[in-house]
Structure 1
Amino acid sequence: MLLLNRSVKLRLAVSLGACILMLIVVGIIGLSSLSKTNDALNRTYEGNVLTLGDLIKVNQALLGNRVKITAEQRDRTPASAITTKQEVAENDAIIDAAWNDYFPERVSGDQERAIAESFIVSLASLRAGIDDINAAMIGNDYDAAREIATTTLRAEYPKVLTAIQGLIDLNSAQAAANNQQSSSDYVWTRNFVIGVMVAAIIFGILLSIWLVRGIMTPLGKAQALANTMAEGRLDNNVDASAKDEFGVMLRALKSMEAKFSQVVMSVRNNAESVNVAADEIVLGTDDLSRRTQEQASSIEQTAASMDEITSTVRQNADNASEADKLVHDVNQQANAGGEIAGQAIKAMEGINASSRKIAGIVGLIDEIAFQTNLLALNASVEAARAGEQGRGFAVVANEVRNLAGRSAEAAKDIKKLVEESIGQVDNGSSLVNQAGKSLEGIVHGVKRVSVLMGEIATASREQSQGIEQVNTAVSQMDSVTQQNASLVEESSAAGRSLQSQAEALLKEVSFFRGATTGQNQRALPAAPRARDSQPRANKGLPTHVVGGKQDTEKWTSF
């Protein structure tokens, strides 16, 4: 028992082993009972049931032979006597097979053996009588057959049937006795198993009570210790005298309580130090926040001024760029005008050349008309010489002369007009040449002005870019300063939050009562200090619209 009190594992193992052992005992008893019942059933079946089956077959075959012989004596037919003999032989074969299956292996005692041997002797005498009566009936000697039936068969049949019935009754009695013995064994086994089960249940209940008491007692102590620690008491007295695992657990809980008490006291002291440090951090961050906000305001004003300058210079650069674009467009238009003038000069020269070609063509037409007139005149002279035969040809020649005259007059008019056009084209060409020279001078002047405006626009863009870079740097400084101011304010808020958390931690830690003081050690929170609350610097830069009224006035003064 002392050894069991030293280990919970050993107690549980012993309890489980006892339960398993009781289960094994009950199982062995049940298996033994089942084995005995099975043996009894096998003995009854092999020794009595099978024997009764064989004996009943023998009895039925004997009765069948008797019935057949009696029926044949009544019919008195020799032919059917042969069939009866065969049927008797078949029944004898059934009797021999059943008897050989029974005797001598399943003979269970001397009394049964004596009855069986007397049956064998009576059966031999009966079969001899049956053979004789069959032979008499086959020989149609039914009177002799009747004599044998009334003497031999009547004497032997009762012996045989009495012997076989005795064997049947003996085996039936043995089967009844075996059944009675099985019932008695079942009642004893049932009572014994019930007794073992009742004993196992009582033992299991007692074992459970012992285990529950051994486990719940130290668990109750551990629960009580945990509850007192939850209430804030860290100086509890716990009985940890047990030698088993629960005793080890209670001693570990006691050590944990002592260590936790030390940690709580250390946390309390650290919380007081954190509270003091948080006050100092809050004061420092408030002062830094105030100075950072002042610096942010100054940089914000500078950024606003730089933004206005940047807007003015940007507008100047945009105007210079627009002027440069206009001059560039004028230059392109002047170049286009010069090119058009050159094209007009070339067109006028082409017209002059075409007019001269037309004049040559008209002169050629005039000469052709003159030659045609001469030919028509010659034709008329020849027609006149021909007399009456050439009158028609003279009329045609006259018409040709008229047409040639008209063509010559039209050619003269066209030539006159072409000569006038050539004169006008020459005047136009000289005027276009003069206009082209004037446009070339204008193009050279516009190109020079475009170069100068490009240089002005480039200088303005560079100046605008430089001022924008300065403005960007100032804006970044303003943004960084604003962020610093915000971070300083967040640090101040974090310091105040840290101070509040330190005060709350002190209040929470003061809930516990340590083993060193034995009383509540509630730490008073540090007195709140006056803090100068400064408004947070505005992070947003002033909105500035390029091209507004203020910008227009500054551009005019510039």
Structure 2
Amino acid sequence: MNLHNLKVGARLTIGFGIVVALLLVIAAINFVSMRGLNGEITLITDDRLIKAAEVSKAKDAASRTVLLLQRAAITGRTEDIETMKAGVLEASNATSQRLERVNRMITSPRGREMFNALVEARGRNTAARNETITLLTKGNIEEARAHITGPVADAQAKYFAALDALLAYQLELVDESAKEAHTTYDRAVALSFGATIAAVLIAIAAMLVITRSVTKPLGSVLEAMKALERGDLTHRVHADGRDELATLMLAVQAAFAKLSTLANGIKESVDVIRTASGEIAAGSTDLSSRTEQQAASLEQTAASMEELTATVKQNAENATQGSGLADNASAVANEGSAIVGQVVETMAGIEQSSAKIAEIIGMIESIAFQTNILALNAAVEAARAGEQGRGFAVVATEVRSLAQRSSAAAKEIRELIETSGGRVQAGTELVARAGETMQRVGTAIQRVTDIMGEIASASNEQSRGIEQVNQAISQMDEVTQQNAALVEEAAAAAGSMEDQAKQLTAAVGVFRTGQTLVVQSVSHRAPRTSQPAFAKKGGAQTRAPKQTDMPKPAAVAAVADGDWSTF
């Protein structure tokens, strides 16, 4: 596989991938080895040592049983016999539990055979011991002692022999597991060490190959940069592959080609610049003449604009005064309209009051009419009463007379109120018409005020615009004067340009492009007869320039004060 056809990132990925894969292999080897070693250790600690310990504890319990039995046979006392019986029972139960645990943990055929022999020997020993306990319980001490030294001793010897054989077998298995654990450890160390050495060697090889595939192209690029530092543009860079470094080398080669072309172009252009500097001097003289004519025209235009500015300012002031008077008239008309509105409201109130008074008069007439009827009824009743009702009849007659006079007065008041109401209504209509007239007058005055305001605003804008035009013309005059000075300096700059062109030719000559240039000199052309600037465009001189496009004199002065000797 050609590494130059792979990207640098792909190469680094392959290199790191190899290292990671080797680390995974080493980790897998260590994991398998440690798992085997852990299995051996677990077998020793959780199985074989436990079985050996249980068998050893069972042997200790059998020894304690023998001592208790012998003590009871020697003393023959009842309390010793009872103590012996309790101790033997406790030891027997504990031994049964331990042997049951060992029985569950035995898996090998040989171990099973030895355990069965142990169980058989324990059964005979238990039978002989129980027989001795029976003799001691019955008080046959001598016979019990004889039995202990006879059958019990033989059974115990066989029982202990079986325990020792099973214990020895378990310790032998422990030794075998320990040896297997050491073997597993040595094998794991060897495999891990070998895999580590192989991984280091493979990683070093991959590092060297990938590093060489990167540093070799970079060395070629470095040589190209050194050649560029020496000014040698004929150096060539050979790219191999399709990776980023090959792309970089192709870009460097293209840059060398472009720099070579650029250097040749600069060499050609420098001679043209040197030749054209003479024409720049002639053109500067022509431009100086036209600039002087333009300055004179601008002075005349500036004087005319000043007169026009004064006239427009006067018009703006008059328009402002007219607008103020119109505002005052509009305010007076609005005030009159407001007063007429108040009068209309007052007349409406009077009309409402007259209507209420008419209602009250109507009520008074109704009361007078009812009072008249009551007086009439009272007179009739007084007539019926005869002499007794005469005085009452006189009062009723007076009341009737008063009711009639009240009714007549109420009618007169009603007629007067109706007459007054008609006049008030007519007055209200006249006042309303006057209010409408005042509103129309106010509207008309407001329109006059708006028109006068627009005239004043337009006059102010014209004044500001003409003032800006005047300022622009003044700036143009200043700029024209500065341009005249700049044109004079341009002639000096042309000579400086020719000197700079020679220096640039010497500077570009440092680069070796491998080509021989033949540069044709450009002949000096005679300066053309210039025309005034305003003669080229007839109507352009009367247009006002834009206020935002005028160059500031400070900026022009900054250009004029430049160091033309280093142009």
TM-score tier, shorter chain, comes to 0.5 to 0.7
1:194 counterpart = 2:190: no
**CA 1:91–1:513: 2 relative to 1, 3 Å:** same
Letter in 1 for 2:49: V
Q: 2:476 aligns with which of 480, 486, 497?
A: 480
Q: Which residue of 2 aligns with 1:440?
A: none
Q: Contact 1:40–1:182 at 8 Å: present in 2 too?
A: yes
Q: Which residue of 1 aligns with 2:366?
A: none
Partners of 1:286 and 1:470 in 2: CA distance: 34
Letter in 1 for 2:265: S
* Residues 278-324 of structure 1, C-alpha deviations (whole Å, 9 max, x = no match): 664565456545764687699889999x99xx9xxxxxxxxxxxxxx
Residue 108 of structure 2 aligns to a residue whose secondary structure is coil
Q: Which residue of 2 aligns with 1:146?
A: 145
Partners of 1:470 and 1:183 in 2: CA distance: 111
**CA 1:512–1:171: 2 relative to 1, 3 Å:** same
Deviation at 1:105? 4.0
Q: Which residue of 2 aligns with 1:262?
A: 261
Q: Contact 1:511–1:522 at 8 Å: present in 2 too?
A: no
1:234 counterpart = 2:263: no
Partners of 1:199 and 1:47 in 2: CA distance: 38
Deviation at 1:481? 0.6
Q: Contact 1:119–1:160 at 8 Å: present in 2 too?
A: yes
**CA 1:17–1:501: 2 relative to 1, 3 Å:** farther
1:219 counterpart = 2:226: no
Task: Give the TM-score normalised by structure 2.
Answer: 0.54
Q: Contact 1:58–1:99 at 8 Å: present in 2 too?
A: yes
Partners of 1:508 and 1:61 in 2: CA distance: 112
Q: How does 1:197-346 map to 2 (within 5 A)?
A: 197-240=196-239, 242-245=240-243, 246-247=245-246, 249-270=248-269, 272-273=271-272, 280-281=279-280, 284-285=283-284, 288=287, 292=291
Residue 124 of structure 1 aligns to a residue whose secondary structure is helix
Residue 103 of structure 1 aligns to a residue whose secondary structure is helix
Partners of 1:49 and 1:473 in 2: CA distance: 116
Partners of 2:498 and 2:96 in 1: CA distance: 116
Deviation at 1:470? 11
1:64 counterpart = 2:64: yes
Q: How does 1:31-430 map to 2 (within 5 A)?
A: 31-79=31-79, 81-103=81-103, 105-110=105-110, 112-240=111-239, 242-245=240-243, 246-247=245-246, 249-270=248-269, 272-273=271-272, 280-281=279-280, 284-285=283-284, 288=287, 292=291
Q: Contact 1:29–1:193 at 8 Å: present in 2 too?
A: yes
**CA 1:224–1:472: 2 relative to 1, 3 Å:** closer
* Residues 377-422 of structure 1, C-alpha deviations (whole Å, 9 max, x = no match): xxxxxxxxxxxxxxxxxxxxxxxxxxxxxxxxxxxxxxxxxxxxxx
**CA 1:526–1:145: 2 relative to 1, 3 Å:** farther
Q: Which residue of 1 aligns with 2:363?
A: none
Deviation at 1:190? 2.0
**CA 1:264–1:44: 2 relative to 1, 3 Å:** same
Residue 160 of structure 1 aligns to a residue whose secondary structure is helix
Q: Contact 1:116–1:167 at 8 Å: present in 2 too?
A: yes
Q: Contact 2:51–2:102 at 8 Å: present in 1 too?
A: yes
Letter in 2 for 1:176: D
Q: Which residue of 2 aligns with 1:534?
A: none
Deviation at 1:123? 0.7
* Residues 60-106 of structure 1, C-alpha deviations (whole Å, 9 max, x = no match): 22223223333434554424533432332222221111111112641
Deviates more, 1:263-272 or 1:36-45: 263-272
Letter in 2 for 1:484: T
Q: Contact 1:6–1:243 at 8 Å: present in 2 too?
A: yes
Letter in 1 for 2:103: F
Count of residue pairs the alignment pairs up: 374
**CA 1:36–1:266: 2 relative to 1, 3 Å:** same
Residue 106 of structure 2 aligns to a residue whose secondary structure is coil
Q: Which residue of 2 aligns with 1:419?
A: none
**CA 1:276–1:522: 2 relative to 1, 3 Å:** closer
Residue 510 of structure 2 aligns to a residue whose secondary structure is coil
Partners of 1:303 and 1:13 in 2: CA distance: 79
Q: Contact 2:47–2:105 at 8 Å: present in 1 too?
A: no
Q: Which residue of 1 aligns with 2:413?
A: none
Partners of 1:178 and 1:473 in 2: CA distance: 113
Partners of 2:209 and 2:519 in 1: CA distance: 46
Letter in 1 for 2:64: G
Partners of 1:47 and 1:472 in 2: CA distance: 111
Deviation at 1:124? 0.8
Residue 236 of structure 1 aligns to a residue whose secondary structure is coil
* Residues 184-206 of structure 1, C-alpha deviations (whole Å, 9 max, x = no match): 33223323332333333333333
Q: Contact 1:506–1:525 at 8 Å: present in 2 too?
A: no
* Residues 104-154 of structure 1, C-alpha deviations (whole Å, 9 max, x = no match): 6414342x3343222212211121222223333344443343233222322
Partners of 2:27 and 2:224 in 1: CA distance: 46
Letter in 2 for 1:61: A
Q: Contact 2:54–2:99 at 8 Å: present in 1 too?
A: yes
Q: Contact 1:52–1:168 at 8 Å: present in 2 too?
A: yes
Partners of 2:469 and 2:258 in 1: CA distance: 59
Deviation at 1:49? 1.4
* Residues 140-195 of structure 1, C-alpha deviations (whole Å, 9 max, x = no match): 44334323322232222222222212222221122112212222332233233323
Residue 182 of structure 2 aligns to a residue whose secondary structure is helix
Residue 477 of structure 2 aligns to a residue whose secondary structure is helix
Letter in 1 for 2:257: A
**CA 1:43–1:230: 2 relative to 1, 3 Å:** same
Q: Contact 1:285–1:489 at 8 Å: present in 2 too?
A: no
Q: Contact 2:136–2:144 at 8 Å: present in 1 too?
A: yes
Q: How does 1:484-495 map to 2 (within 5 A)?
A: 484-486=480-482, 489=485
Q: Contact 2:72–2:81 at 8 Å: present in 1 too?
A: yes
Letter in 1 for 2:237: V
Partners of 1:148 and 1:526 in 2: CA distance: 151
Deviation at 1:214? 3.0
5+ unaligned residues in a row in structure 1: which ranges?
Answer: 311-468, 528-538, 541-558
**CA 1:143–1:222: 2 relative to 1, 3 Å:** same
**CA 1:61–1:488: 2 relative to 1, 3 Å:** farther
Task: Give the TM-score normalised by structure 1.
Answer: 0.54
Partners of 1:77 and 1:172 in 2: CA distance: 42
**CA 1:490–1:175: 2 relative to 1, 3 Å:** farther
Letter in 1 for 2:30: G
Deviates more, 1:55-64 or 1:185-194: 185-194
Partners of 1:149 and 1:472 in 2: CA distance: 144
Deviation at 1:260? 2.9
Partners of 2:117 and 2:470 in 1: CA distance: 143
**CA 1:524–1:121: 2 relative to 1, 3 Å:** farther
Q: Contact 1:506–1:523 at 8 Å: present in 2 too?
A: no
Partners of 1:86 and 1:6 in 2: CA distance: 91
Q: Which residue of 2 aligns with 1:454?
A: none
**CA 1:284–1:160: 2 relative to 1, 3 Å:** same
Q: Which residue of 2 aligns with 1:549?
A: none
Partners of 1:139 and 1:168 in 2: CA distance: 37
Deviation at 1:493? 6.3
Partners of 1:283 and 1:93 in 2: CA distance: 134
Amino-acid identity (%): 18
Q: CA RMSD in A?
A: 4.8
